[in-house]
Amino acid sequence: MVGIVSYGFYVPKYRIKTEVIANVWGKNPEDVKKSLLIEEKAVAGIDEDSLTMAFESASSALSRVDVDRNKIKVVLFGSETHPYAVNPASTILAEFLGIEKNYLAYDTEFACKAATGALISAQGLIKSGYSDYALVTGSDKGMGKTHDVLEYTAASGAVSLLLGKDNLILEILDFESFSSDTPDFWRREGIRYPSHGGRFTGKPSYFYHIEEASKSLFKKTHLSAKDFSFAVFHMPNGKFPVQVANSLGFSPTQIKDSLTVNYLGNSYTASALMGLAAILEKAKPGNLIFLCSYGSGAGSDSFALRVTKNLFGKRRKEFKHVVEDKKYIDYPAYLKFMEII
C-alpha cells in the first residue's frame, strides 16, 4: 500500500481583512463577506514566493520522520505561480532540502489541482518500485487584479506530502480523475493576472468536474458519502465547497473542519491540501477521508484516504496555533507585498 508518511504546511503570518479591500472600492463589506464567505486571507510577505513557502512546508514534513533523504528519488512541485517561467522550482527545492542529485524532479501545472495530479504520479512511481519515497508540494502566492473578485479570495500558502510504503499515516485507497477542455479561468504567457471565463465559471466547471470525479470514485470503491468521516474539496470561495458537498450527500459536519478558506482564503494549489492538514488535527485511526481537488481548464482528482494509528505520532497539533499567529496589514502594504506598487 502506498500512502502518506508525513505532511507539513506553511501559512504566511500576514492577513488582510475582507472589509479593508471592500472599503477601498466603496463596496459594502458585509455584502462581500456574505457572497464569498471569506473573512480574511493569508498574504505572502514581500520576501516570500511559492518556492520559499514550499521550502517551509517541505522542511516541516521531513522534520517529523527519520528518512534517509537519499531515498527520496521523486520531487514534484505543483504551482500556478512558479517563480520562473523557464527553470524548475522542484530542483531548487530539492537542493535547499539537501536531497542528493539522483532523483526525478519536475514542476506540474494544472491551475489549482497541480499538486493532486503530482500526487497521483508520485503514487504510481513508488508503486512501480522506482523510488522508496516521493515528495509532493503544492504552493502558491495567489494574486488577482485590483478591483477584481480574486482580490478578496486569492491567498498564499503551501502544503507538502511525503509519500512512501512504510509507517503510513494515510493510506491512499484509490483515486479517480475527470478532465475536459473548459475555459473557465486562464492566464496567458506574459500576462500578469488571470482572466475569468464568465459563463463557464461554476456549474460547467467546478461543480461538474468535482461531481463527476467524485461519483466515479464512489462507483469504483463501492463507497458513498456516508462512509467518510471527513470530506475536503478545493475552496475557491466559502460557498462552492459547501454546495458541492451537499450535492454529493455529505453533511455539514463532515466538511466543516476542512473549510480553511473562511479565514485563510484560496491558496490555489495548496487549497484542498490545506483543508486536509486541518482535518488531520482531528482525524482518528480508521477514519476515511474524502479529498477532491479542482483545477481550472478543467479537471478534478478525487481520493479515498484512510487514517492509520501512526498519525498520532506525527500529528502536528499546531494548525490552530499557526493560523492564529498573524499580523494584519492595510491596503497599501498589501499592494506592496503583491508587488503592485
Active site residues: 80, 112, 234
* C-alpha cell belonging to residue 155: 491567498
Look at the alpha carbons of 49, 50, 53, 54 in this order and tell me if their dihedral is positive or negative.
negative
What are residue 104's DSSP bridge partners?
74
Please name the amino acid found at residue 145.
Answer: K
List of residues 6+ apart from 140 with CB closer than 8 A: 50, 79, 80, 81, 156, 157, 158, 267, 268, 269, 270
Look at the alpha carbons of 294, 165, 89, 317 in this order and tell me if their dihedral is positive or negative.
positive
How many degrees, rounded to 5, is the angle at CA 94 between CA 76 and CA 280?
A: 60
E strand or H helix that includes residue 4: strand 3-10
The 3-state secondary structure of 16-61 reads EEHHHHHHHCCCCHHHHHHHHCCCEEEECCCCCCHHHHHHHHHHHH
Q: How many CA atoms lie within 13 Å of 324's alpha carbon, on the beta-carbon side?
A: 4
**Distance separating alpha carbons of residues 311 and 280, to the nearest angstrom:** 8
Spacing of C-alpha 186 from chain mean position: 18
* C-alpha cell belonging to residue 260: 480553511
Residue whose C-alpha cell is 503510513:
168
3-state secondary structure of 288: strand
- In contact, 302 and 176? CB cutoff 8 Å: yes
Torsion of CA 117, 120, 123, 129, to 10 degrees: -90
